Amino acid sequence: MKQDQLLKLGLYGTAIGDALGQGYLQCKHDSLDMYKGIYHTPAGTWSDDTSISLVFMDNLLQNNDYHMIMDSLINWHQYGLYTPYYKAFDVGQSTKDAINLYQDDRQHYWENIKEMLSDQDNGNGALMYMLPISIILNDQNDNDNQSSKLKIFQRVIQLSQLTKHSYRSTLACLIYFNLLTLIINSKNYSNNYLQQAVNNAFKLIHNYNLTTLINEQNYFEPLLTASFYQKTLSQLSASGYVIDTLFCVWNILHQTTKFNNAINLAVNLNGDVDTIAGLIGGIIAIINRNIPQQWLNKLQGKNVLNFYLNKTN
């Protein structure tokens, strides 16, 4: 499937999952539908998770450097670009901190952000923009060229750390990137990909002797055990902690790849359900190569999504 088609599926799937999750942040409903959220936006409105995905897609397609990506994040956060109604909301604290740090000292941002790497900042925000990164970088990858593979590996690490100050989050992004890569490059999804993606990421960090990431490996090793996949979602936490988010996504994908069933599982968790539903929506739309029309009809901001997606043609 072509890059523009994958991006459309992935971004619309993300936006639908995000919008559905918004209506379940502080209350539950008897049936799956789009409801008004806690930010007083119309039903079907997507949030920061989708907006950040659009920012990265837009900039990567133009081969922009990190300065231009950060400038776009400022335009989103302050002026509401990349949003349905020109107003950013539900913005994560780490993202705000990164934007403020960049505005304080643009010239030395990359050095400063590295100094902020911390075990305490293990949020899930960077996972959201792995989907467009995976699609675009896989389109550029020459599978027979080791140099090409290394450059993409390095690029994923750099981008994952652009707004997140955590090696744990970086490894989570590498694992998620590897899962998306397997799905993008195959016609038929297999649950074997869930463990294969983890093993592929572990192999990469050991091949390049990335000690800081190897030290985080034990947090993800449950994903390689049979007992993990026997757990119910009620046994998992749906907090904004990156490990919790990744575990919920893996568990849901192991249970089902039917769009509505998977989203229903995600939104009925207790926690960061819009982010988890956004991740699930994007990845399952690509797995199925389809998005249910019922949600497209109810989704807000399709004009904004289409504006940026049309740049891919």
276-278-279 Cα angle (round to 5): 65
Residue 238's φ and ψ, nearest 5 degrees, are -115, 35
CATH code for the domain in which residue 146 is found: 1.10.4080.10
Kindly write down the DSSP assignment for every residue of 133-166, as one continuous string. HHHHHHHH--TT-HHHHHHHHHHHHHHHTSS---
**d(C-alpha 211, C-alpha 229), whole Å:** 28
Q: Is 48 annotated as a binding residue?
A: yes
> Nearest to residue 74, comparing CAs of 105, 96, 48?
96
Spell out the per-residue pLDDT of the chain, length 313, in tens: 899 999 999 999 999 999 999 999 878 888 999 999 888 899 999 999 999 999 999 999 999 999 999 999 999 999 999 999 999 988 888 889 899 999 999 999 988 887 776 666 788 989 999 999 999 999 887 666 677 788 899 999 999 999 877 899 999 999 999 999 999 999 899 999 999 999 999 999 999 999 999 999 999 999 999 999 999 999 999 999 999 999 999 999 999 999 999 999 999 998 999 999 999 999 999 999 999 999 999 999 999 999 999 987 7
**d(C-alpha 258, C-alpha 281), whole Å:** 10
Three-state SS at 124: coil
Q: Is 49 annotated as a binding residue?
A: yes
Instruction: Provide the residue range defining the domain that includes 116.
Output: 3-312
Q: Which residue has the tokens 């994040």?
A: 73
Q: What is the largest CA-CA distance in the chain?
A: 52
Q: Which residues contact 272 (CB under 8 A, 6 or more apart)?
A: 124, 238, 239, 240, 245
Q: Is 47 annotated as a binding residue?
A: yes
Q: Which residues contact 151 (CB under 8 A, 6 or more apart)?
A: none
Percent helix, strand, coil in the chain, to 5, is 65, 0, 35
Q: Is 170 annotated as a binding residue?
A: no
**d(C-alpha 23, C-alpha 29), whole Å:** 9
pTM: 0.96
Number of independent structural domains in the chain: 1
Q: Is 272 annotated as a binding residue?
A: yes
Residue pair 82/54 in contact by the 8 Å Cβ criterion: yes
Q: Which residues contact 165 (CB under 8 A, 6 or more apart)?
A: 94, 98, 113, 116, 117, 118, 121
**Rounded (10°) CA dihedral 108, 110, 116, 122:** 150
